[in-house]
Amino acid sequence: MPSATEQKTGTANISYTIRPPIPPEVSFTTLTNNATVSGTKAISANATDDKSVNRVEFYIDGVKKHTDYGAPYTWSWDTTSYSEGTHTVKVVAYDGDGKSSYQQYSVNVNNLGSSSPGISEGEGEDAAPNEGRLIIYVVVGVVIVIVVVLVSIFKISRGKPEEARG
Ligand SMILES: [Ca+2]
């Protein structure tokens, strides 16, 4: 049976390798671990894959807040709606095979401390009095000019009768 022999030979020569899907890699690009954040913080991630990255998801304290389907993978996190103190920020990248990987950092939300909000309030308090002072200076200046002019006119008008008398 020559055909059966051929089939056996053929089968023996076939070889191939099954490779498991390779998960993507993801990392924060603008955030550092244990960073202090305030206001609106831009969270950016770099994601790569052997085939293609499907999406990157952004999590705060384990709650998904945003999904970005195209690079650059970014999300603006409004930290003012979160309590002061430690929170976790996580980015998860998925590839087309459903494989995923993540990176997670701890950050310190500080919107009430001695950071930028306090400084901006101080600038605001300084700005208004400066405007008020400027107005006062202008008014005082105008009043002084008017008084000087009136005094001059008064002296002239007093001087004339004296000259007329003398
Ligand atoms: Ca992959």
Contact 73, 47 (CB under 8 A): yes
In a domain, 83, yes or no: yes
Q: Mark whether 42 and 97 lie in a shared domain.
A: yes
- 130 and 95, same structural domain? no
Q: What is the pTM of this model?
A: 0.59
For residue 27, being part of any structural domain is answered with yes
Q: Do residues 128 and 156 both lie within one domain?
A: yes
Residue that terminates a domain, selected from 109, 127, 149: 109
Q: How many domains does the chain have?
A: 2
Cα 20 to middle of ligand 1, angstroms: 9
Residue 18 Cα to ligand 1 middle (Å): 14
What range does the domain containing 141 cover? Answer: 117-166
Q: What's the gap in Å between 166 CA and the centre of ligand 1?
A: 112
Q: Are residues 38 and 70 in the same domain?
A: yes
- Structure token digits, residue 45: 């991630």
How big is the CA angle at 140 (ends 135 and 141), to the nearest 5 degrees? Answer: 95
Sign of the CA dihedral 88, 89, 91, 92?
positive
pLDDT one-digit tens code per residue, 29-72: 989 999 999 999 999 999 999 999 999 999 999 999 999 999 99
CA distance readout (Å), 98 to 17, 47, 51, 77, 88: 21, 14, 12, 26, 24
